[in-house]
């Protein structure tokens, strides 16, 4: 049976946020729907002063209690950070389950994780979160297969966890994670031997990364109007207009105020990004908060150690331009034509993708060095090497040899030592 939820976004007029409260509420509602909860009421709640014990003021609590009772609400989502005490007191006041944003995101991650590593990471994040909640009265935690277990529900088993048990579990999971990582490391090494550059799609959740990935690879990755539809990186081979192959990588979406536990836990999922030769930042350009989202993504990338990449200007795919008015769209197209980093696209229809691929190609070859080579006509291997490892700019066939101009990745220059001229 579908459970019902009330979603509340507390905000203060005194500390203005870059984002509009309504847009943040929309995001919280989308997150809630992503775990199949039926949202029966949602609102932005103005908070003059955060109460240490209850977060909200008594008047607001009483007013909301009426709604919560009459709608028989199963869970209240507070789209903010609650202390264990605040959570406990609100649960008492409303006589229902209350969860905050961290728990909500953990729940989503728990339902979406598909690979062994993803599942383990969520479990670790969950335990870390639970451990921090054990300060006061939190000695019981409900757990359930599938989700992270904050929602409870039929069929669940109640397990008593104390700190010691949690610590034991954490140690166990970390060990398992290390094993899984080792395996993945081996896979990655194997992939490194594939001589293709890696291009990673990153961006805010719901920006359209998987839709773009599918279009470019014609793959069928789980793309849906659900936040965090993708948790584990997916990689596919794509051919650029000049014939060069790349590996395209789809990644997990970012979100504002990602809880610290999750940043740590999901770092591994984003390790692929650290290995990428090129990063393409996919943006929902029709979203009212697109600028704030961009800042979030860039600051997480900087945290991951990619500040240089960010400062040098990443390629930006300005997605969902089909949602803009024709005037706005014209303006975006006009403006981006003056940049070499911004590419308006519509992943849904494929508009602008050819130009985006060309931009990726140009970026890749920008650091390449141009060399001239001469290969004996009988040296089939040499010719094959030229095509595999270089961009052939020109080719002249003579009786006994072939002359070529190539663009070559500086890393591969040595391969051509025996053939170089000039
Ligand atoms: N109108 C429109 N919708 C789009 C476009 N591209 C993607 N969408 C929609 O946006 C929603 C999210 O798309 P996804 O591709 O799953 O987004 P994502 O960035 O992979 O999201 P996460 O995996 O959750 O981080 C889906 O409903 C898509 O159909 C576009 O160009 N135009
Ligand atoms: Mg996705």
The finding on whether 293 has its CB within 6 A of some atom of ligand 1 is: no
Task: Average the pLDDT over each of 34-48, 233-247, 325-339 and give the range with the smallest value.
Answer: 233-247
3-state DSSP of 103-136 = HHHHHHHHHHCCCHHHHHHHHHHHHHHHHHHCCC
Confidence at 334, pLDDT banded by 50, 70, 90: very high
CA of 359 from ligand 1 middle (Å) equals: 21
Task: Tell whether the model's pLDDT for residue 358 goes beyond 50.
Answer: yes
Helix ranges (DSSP H) in 20-57: 21-33
108-234-34 Cα angle (round to 5): 20
pLDDT band of residue 410 (cuts 50, 70, 90) is: confident
Ligand 1: residue of 33, 223, 282 to mutate (most ligand atoms within 8 A of CB) is 223
Q: Give the pLDDT of residue 136.
A: 36
CATH class of 4-101: alpha beta
CB of 253 closer than 6 A to ligand 1?
A: yes
Q: Over the stretch 164-201, which tens digit does the pLDDT of each residue have?
A: 788 899 999 999 988 888 887 777 676 665 567 889 99
- The answer, yes or no, to whether any atom of ligand 1 lies below 6 A from the CB of 39, is no
If one residue of 201, 210, 343 were mutated to test the ligand 1 pocket, choosing by the most ligand atoms within 8 A of its CB, it would be 210
Per-residue pLDDT at 142 exceeds 50 = no
Q: Which fold has domain 194-365?
A: Rossmann fold (3.40.50)
pLDDT recorded at residue 225: 60
**Is any ligand 1 atom within 6 A of the Cβ of residue 225?**
yes
Q: Give the residue-averaged pLDDT of 73-91.
A: 93
Q: Looking at residue 51, what DSSP letter applies?
A: B
Distance, in Å, from the CA atom of 297 to the CA atom of 295, rounded to the nearest integer, reads: 5
Statement: residue 86 has pLDDT above 80: yes
Span from the CA of 251 to the centroid of ligand 2 (angstroms): 7
Cβ(275)–Cβ(229) below 8 Å: no
Q: How far is CA 405 from CA 51, 114, 160, 386, in A?
A: 71, 46, 70, 10
Question: Is pLDDT at 222 greater than 80 in this prediction?
Answer: no
Tokens of 274: 């650290």
Tokens of 413: 């220059």
Q: Considering every ligand atom shown, identify the ligand nearest to the alpha carbon of residue 282 and give its number.
A: 1
Q: Are 335 and 327 in contact (CB under 8 A)?
A: no
Q: Is the CB of 228 under 6 A from ligand 1?
A: yes
Question: Which residue is closest in CA terms to ligand 1's atom 26?
Answer: 225
Q: Is 233 in the pocket of ligand 1 (CB under 6 A)?
A: no
Distance 372 CA to ligand 2 centre (A): 43
How far is the centre of ligand 1, averaged over its atoms, from the C-alpha of 207 (Å)? 5
280 lines ligand 1 (CB under 6 A): no
Say how many Å lie between the CA of residue 233 and the centre of ligand 2: 9
Element (H, E) at 94: helix 84-94
Confidence of residue 244 (pLDDT cuts 50, 70, 90): confident
Residue 120 CB partners (closer than 8 Å, separation 6+): 173, 176, 177, 180
CA of 216 to the centre of ligand 1 (A): 14
Please give the pLDDT value at position 190: 67
Query: Is 400 in contact with 376 (CB distance < 8 Å)?
Result: yes
Share of the chain above pLDDT 90, in %: 45
Residues 82/90, Cβ–Cβ less than 8 Å: yes
User: What does pLDDT average to over the chain?
Assistant: 84
First-last CA distance in the chain: 75
Please list the residue range(s) of the chain that carry CATH number 3.40.50.11060: 4-101
Do 88 and 55 form a contact (C-beta atoms < 8 A)? no
Q: Considering only CA atoms, which of 25, 21, 3 is closest in space to residue 12?
A: 21
What region, left, alpha or beta, does residue 183 occupy, with left being phi > 0 and alpha being psi -120 to 50 degrees? alpha
Sign of the Cα torsion 86, 92, 94, 99 reads positive
The yes-or-no verdict on residue 52 having pLDDT over 60 is yes
Band the pLDDT of 154: cuts 50, 70, 90: very low
Assess contact for 307 and 298: CB atoms under 8 A. Answer: no
Ligand 1 nearest atom to the CA of residue 203, by list position: 19
DSSP three-state, residue 77 = strand
Nearest atom of ligand 1 to the alpha carbon of 222: 16
pLDDT-based confidence at residue 267 (cuts at 50, 70, 90): low
Q: Which of 22-36, 136-150, 172-186, 194-208 has the lowest mean pLDDT?
A: 136-150
Please classify residue 259 by burial: count the beta carbons closer than 10 Å to its beta carbon, then call 0-12 exposed, 13-18 middle and 19+ buried: buried
Region of 81 on the Ramachandran plot (φ > 0 left; ψ -120 to 50 alpha; else beta): beta
For ligand 1, the distance from its centroid to the CA atom of residue 320, given in whole angstroms, is: 8
**Nearest CA among 134, 211, 206 for reference residue 169:** 134
**pTM of this prediction exceeds 0.85:** no
Q: Which one of 200, 206, 232, 351 would you pick to mutate in the ligand 1 pocket, going by the greatest count of ligand atoms within 8 A of its CB? A: 206
Q: Phi first, then psi: give them for residue 143, nearest 5 degrees.
A: -130, 150
Contacts of 94 (CB under 8 A, 6+ apart): 61, 64, 65, 68, 69, 73, 76
Is 223 close to ligand 1, i.e. is its CB under 6 Å away? yes
Quick: pLDDT tens for 95-136: 999 999 888 888 887 777 767 777 888 888 888 888 777 543
Angle at 79 between CA 77 and CA 84, to 5 degrees: 75
Closest residue to atom 1 of ligand 1, CA basis = 320
Extract the tokens encoding 258. Answer: 């990602």
- Give yes or no for residue 350 CB within 6 A of ligand 1: no
The whole-number pLDDT of residue 287 equals: 92
- 134 contacts 128 by C-beta, under 8 angstroms: no
302 Cα to the center of ligand 2, angstroms: 21
Residues 88 and 137 sit within 8 Å (Cβ to Cβ) = yes
d(CA 198, CA 12): 43
CATH 3.40.50.300 location in the chain? 194-365
**Using a 6 Å cutoff on CB, does residue 323 contact ligand 1?**
yes
């Amino acid at each position: 049976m579908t459970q019902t939820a009330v979603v509340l976004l507390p905000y203060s007029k005194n500390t203005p946020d870059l984002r509009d409260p309504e847009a943040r509420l929309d995001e919280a509602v989308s997150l809630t729907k992503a775990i199949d909860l039926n949202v029966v009421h949602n609102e932005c709640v103005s908070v003059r002063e955060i109460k240490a014990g209850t977060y909200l003021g008594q008047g607001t609590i009483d007013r909301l209690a009426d709604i919560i009772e009459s709608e028989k609400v199963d869970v209240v989502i507070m789209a903010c950070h609650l202390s264990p005490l605040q959570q406990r007191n609100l649960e008492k006041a409303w006589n229902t389950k209350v969860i905050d944003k961290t728990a909500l995101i953990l729940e989503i991650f728990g339902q979406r994780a598909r690979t062994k590593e993803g599942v383990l990471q969520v479990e670790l994040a969950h335990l870390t979160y639970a451990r921090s909640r054990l300060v006061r009265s939190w000695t019981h935690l409900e757990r359930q297969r599938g989700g992270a277990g904050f929602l409870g529900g039929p069929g669940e088993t109640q397990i008593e966890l104390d700190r010691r048990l949690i610590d034991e579990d954490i140690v166990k999971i970390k060990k398992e994670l290390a094993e899984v990582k080792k395996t993945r490391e081996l896979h990655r090494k194997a992939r490194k031997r594939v001589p293709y550059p890696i291009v990673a799609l990153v961006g805010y959740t719901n920006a359209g990364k998987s839709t773009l990935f599918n279009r470019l690879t014609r793959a069928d990755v789980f793309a849906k109007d659900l936040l965090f539809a993708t948790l584990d990186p997916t990689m596919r081979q794509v051919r650029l207009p000049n014939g060069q192959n790349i590996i395209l990588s789809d990644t997990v979406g970012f979100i504002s105020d990602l809880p610290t536990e999750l940043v740590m836990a999901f770092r591994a999922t984003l390790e692929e990004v650290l290995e990428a030769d090129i990063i393409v930042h996919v943006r929902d350009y029709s979203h009212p908060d697109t600028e704030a989202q961009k800042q979030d993504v860039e600051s997480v990338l900087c945290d991951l150690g990619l500040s240089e990449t960010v400062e040098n200007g990443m390629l930006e795919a300005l997605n969902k331009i089909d949602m803009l008015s024709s005037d706005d769209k014209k303006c975006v197209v006009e403006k981006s034509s003056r940049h070499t980093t911004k590419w308006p696209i519509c992943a849904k229809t494929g508009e602008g993708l050819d130009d985006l691929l060309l931009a990726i190609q140009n970026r890749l070859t920008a650091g390449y060095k141009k060399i001239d080579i001469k290969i004996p006509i009988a040296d089939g291997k040499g010719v094959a090497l030229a095509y595999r490892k270089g961009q052939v700019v020109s080719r002249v066939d003579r009786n006994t040899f072939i002359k070529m101009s190539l663009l070559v990745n500086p890393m591969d220059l040595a391969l051509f030592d025996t053939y170089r001229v000039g």
